Amino acid sequence: MAQKAVFYHAGCPVCIDAEQRFAHSLDPRAFDVEIVHLGEDKSRILEAQQSGVRSVPAFVVGGEPYHINFGAALSDLQ
């Protein structure tokens, strides 16, 4: 069964690049990907923080954060 993966981003160039490269290219048999734009949905920032996300773009899989390069600090989105 596919595991849930949340991709958090903020529309920044680094974010969009990572989204195009990875968020749309994970094996659908392995991951069920949800894409969350934290600039547009600030109500999800707390959830990202609680999963250990410090910057975007980042995936959270199995409760663990995976930061991909550095686009923007989460603290700058609040």
- Interface contacts to its own copies, rule CB under 8 A: 17-18, 21-22, 24-28, 30-31, 61-62, 64-69
CB 60 within 8 A of CB 8: yes
**Which residue lies nearer to its own copies by CB, 21 or 42?**
21
Q: Are 8 and 19 in contact (CB under 8 A)?
A: no
Give the distance, in angstroms, between the CA of residue 71 and the centroid of all CA atoms in the same chain.
Answer: 11
> For residue 54, what is the DSSP state?
-
3 vs 75 by CB, closer to its own copies: 3
Q: Return the number of the residue (13 or 40) whose C-beta is nearest its own copies.
A: 13
CB of 45 to its own copies, least distance (A): 20
